[in-house]
Amino acid sequence: HDCIPASICPCGATISCHVPVIFAAKFLLRRKQKQRRTPNKEDNNRLTKPFVMTKRTQIPEYKVCMVGYGGVGKSAATLQFVQGIFVEDLDPTIEDSYRKQVRIDDDDEIVILDILDMAGPEEYIPLVMQNFRFAHGFLVFFSLADHYSMYEAIKYLEMIKRAKDETDMTKIPTVLIGNKLDLVDERVISRDEALDLAKNYKLQYMETSAKLNENVTECFLALARMMMATCPQPTVATGQKRCRVQ
């Protein structure tokens, strides 16, 4: 240290007066570097343990089919639920798809509904059957102002049973819906008649008005609860397939 001028030290003293401080600093530096090179057991576990998604990070995703005769209000109900709007005149639907994240009741359970607004005209029946096989649940519509649409709803219920290869509809999450509740003067199907049909297939029955947004959200939530009970771990938002209703 004799070759180092005293002026190097800011305090003006010789460098020898700071030797203990220098050695202490070097010791602490080596100790810190050693700790970096040899992580402890806890660090090793943290570094090597793979990332696992918790239940909270996985959002269940259910595929819902909206089915029924053309003009019964499937598309209007879907738009009312997803976007909160009512469109009076809609072009005939071939197939439209929507996604919406919903909270079930007042708890922390959140699901994603992948809604497929199916074709009404019979020429699209093969397309309908193909989508039925991969759906988790169904909303089957008819118009309270049209008797023929109820007969068509029965056809769709039978198609669902064939697509799922199932004779018991209680094993297939399905809600039967009588739409256009607002057309009071034009109503031709009584509630008792509709309940008889629902009882025959052991289905939950609800009456809605897509125009007035009456019971629209409730029918989607009712179906969501059924699907959650039947298939607790469906396709998740990450795209991984968990289970499928057959």
Give me the pLDDT at residue 208, please: 97
**Residues in a beta bridge with 60:** 236
Banded pLDDT at 52 (limits 50, 70, 90): very low
**Is residue 6 a contact partner of residue 13, using CB atoms and an 8 Å limit?**
yes
pLDDT in tens, 55-65: 445 788 999 99
First to last CA, the chain: 86
Q: What's the CA gap between 199 and 23, in Å, rounded? A: 89
What is the full DSSP assignment across the chain? -TTS-GGGSTTSS-GGGGHHHHHHHHHHHHHHHHHHHS--HHHHHHHHSPP---GGG--EEEEEEEEESTTSSHHHHHHHHHHS---SS-PPPS-EEEEEEEE-TTSS-EEEEEEEE---SGGGHHHHHHHHTT-SEEEEEEETT-HHHHHHHHHHHHHHHHHHT-S-GGGS-EEEEEE-TT-TTT--S-HHHHHHHHHHHT-EEEE-BTTTTBSHHHHHHHHHHHHHHH-SS-EETTS-------
pLDDT in tens, 14-29: 545 555 555 555 656 6
**Residues in a beta bridge with 187:** none
Give me the pLDDT at residue 99, please: 92
Q: Determine what percent of the chain is predicted with pLDDT higher than 90.
A: 48
Give me the pLDDT at residue 109, please: 84
User: What's the distance, CA 233 to chain centroid?
Assistant: 11
Q: Determine what percent of the chain is predicted with pLDDT higher than 70.
A: 65
pLDDT in tens, 169-227: 999 999 999 999 999 999 999 999 999 999 999 999 999 999 999 999 999 999 999 99
User: What is the number of alpha carbons within 13 Å of residue 237 lying toward its C-beta?
Assistant: 14
Give the pairing type, strands 60-68 and 235-236. Answer: antiparallel
Average pLDDT over every residue of 92-101: 77
Q: Which of 162, 165, 171 is nearest to 201 (CA)?
A: 171
- Name residue 224's amino acid: A
Average pLDDT over every residue of 39-62: 54
Give the pairing type, strands 60-68 and 204-207. Answer: unpaired
Give me the pLDDT at residue 175, please: 98
pLDDT in tens, 152-175: 999 999 999 999 999 999 999 999
Q: Is the model's pLDDT at 230 over the cut of 80?
A: yes
